[in-house]
């Protein structure tokens, strides 16, 4: 009887221990709109590897690329509600809840990736992320989507005037609608997961995205012409639900924050290393690539000035001024 009792106790303790271990394991669902193989998703995967290694498996990360958990707006709501733990998306998307984030969508804001890194990793970028906490989100780091280029299925663009009349898909926010309108084109706000079908069905003529996104989403299958404009650089905010963040211990928070920063460095390295090779692959896939001459780029910048002036006021004079101060320091 004693032996039976002891076996029962040992079994009960083992089951309880297993249950406690299971209870201590926390799962992070990490969502994004880009396809598997995209540098953004590679960064997410690296984040998962680091988190699981540093936590000894107590924190698990499940990656959901390709809009598997809904579009960006749906992801933001889920993050705020605590039903989704993490997501990475264009920083400018957060302008719908914190207007200052629209600064990241200003055309021709950054002259180089190095400039962008210094600004987003410094006091300016951290300060903007801090403004998300009142909205139920915690900004951890910045990945990059990279510099954006214009593609379409109608014609090669050799001069600014060639853009006029094209129906271009844009990220659904005011500044993107305005800069496309300023070029005489017709902006069509559309969630990214719906883009390929819209291009295939000719509901829109073109779109604008970085090389890796064009390749990853196979847009070359439905777009013949690409114009190298580098008109916009997109930082990607890596954010975590504040409800989930508050449930983590101090040690877990450090693991997650450190992993976000480590994976951001890795992600940008992958993104930039791949850019030249991806452009060559897009050409081999049949895309006709043109580059605007300097005089046309100057015309493009001139057309953007009223758009920038309008939105500098809407994002807030203090935020716009702080950005310009940072850029001036870098360029001196």
Residue 108, phi then psi, degrees to nearest 5: 55, 35
> For 102-144, how does the pLDDT look when each residue is reduced to its tens digit (9 = 90+)?
999 999 999 899 999 999 999 999 999 999 999 999 999 999 9
Please give the domain boundaries of the chain with CATH numbers for all domains: 2-331 (3.40.190.170)
| Sequence-distant (≥ 6) Cβ neighbours of residue 98 within 8 angstroms | 128, 131, 132, 135
The pTM (predicted TM-score) of the whole model is 0.84
For the stretch 207-231, pLDDT in tens is 999 999 999 899 999 999 999 999 9
Cβ-based neighbours of 252, under 8 Å, separated by 6 or more: 26, 55, 58, 59
Q: 210 in helix, strand or coil? A: coil
For the chain, give the percent of residues with pLDDT over 70. 93
| pLDDT higher than threshold 60 for residue 9 | no
Per-residue pLDDT tens for 58-91?
A: 999 999 999 999 999 999 999 999 999 999 999 9
* Residues 89/236, Cβ–Cβ less than 8 Å: yes
What are the CA-CA distances from residue 36 to residues 45, 66, 102, 144 (Å)?
10, 7, 27, 16
Q: Are 234 and 209 in contact (CB under 8 A)?
A: no
């Amino acid at each position: 009887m004693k032996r039976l009792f002891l076996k029962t106790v040992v079994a009960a303790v083992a089951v309880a221990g297993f249950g406690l271990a299971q209870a201590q394991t926390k799962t992070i669902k990490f969502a994004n709109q880009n396809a598997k193989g995209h540098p953004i998703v590679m960064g997410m995967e690296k984040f998962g590897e680091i988190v699981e290694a540093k936590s000894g498996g107590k924190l698990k990360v499940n990656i959901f690329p390709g809009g598997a958990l809904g579009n960006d707006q749906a992801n933001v709501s889920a993050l705020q509600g605590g039903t989704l733990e993490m997501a990475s998306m264009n920083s400018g998307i957060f302008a719908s809840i914190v207007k200052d984030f629209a600064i990241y969508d200003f055309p021709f804001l950054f002259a180089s990736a190095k400039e962008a890194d210094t600004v987003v990793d410094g006091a300016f970028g951290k300060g903007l992320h801090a403004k998300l906490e009142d909205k139920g989100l915690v900004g951890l780091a910045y990945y990059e989507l990279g510099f954006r280029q214009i593609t379409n299925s109608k014609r090669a663009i050799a001069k600014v005037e060639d853009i006029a009349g094209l129906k271009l898909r844009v990220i659904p926010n005011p500044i993107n609608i305005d800069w496309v309108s300023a070029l005489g084109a017709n902006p069509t706000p559309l969630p990214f997961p719906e883009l390929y079908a819209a291009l295939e069905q000719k509901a829109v003529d073109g779109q604008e995205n970085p090389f890796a996104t064009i390749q990853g989403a196979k847009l070359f299958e439905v777009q013949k012409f690409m114009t190298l404009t580098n008109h916009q650089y997109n930082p990607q905010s890596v954010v975590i639900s504040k409800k989930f963040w508050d449930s983590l211990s101090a040690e877990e928070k450090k693991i997650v924050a450190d992993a976000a920063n480590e994976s951001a460095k890795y992600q940008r390295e992958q993104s930039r290393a791949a850019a030249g090779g991806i452009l060559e692959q897009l050409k081999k896939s049949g895309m006709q690539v043109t580059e605007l001459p300097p005089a046309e780029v100057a015309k493009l910048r001139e057309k953007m000035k009223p758009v920038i002036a309008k939105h500098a006021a809407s994002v807030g004079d203090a935020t716009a001024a702080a950005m310009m101060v940072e850029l001036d320091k870098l360029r001196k």
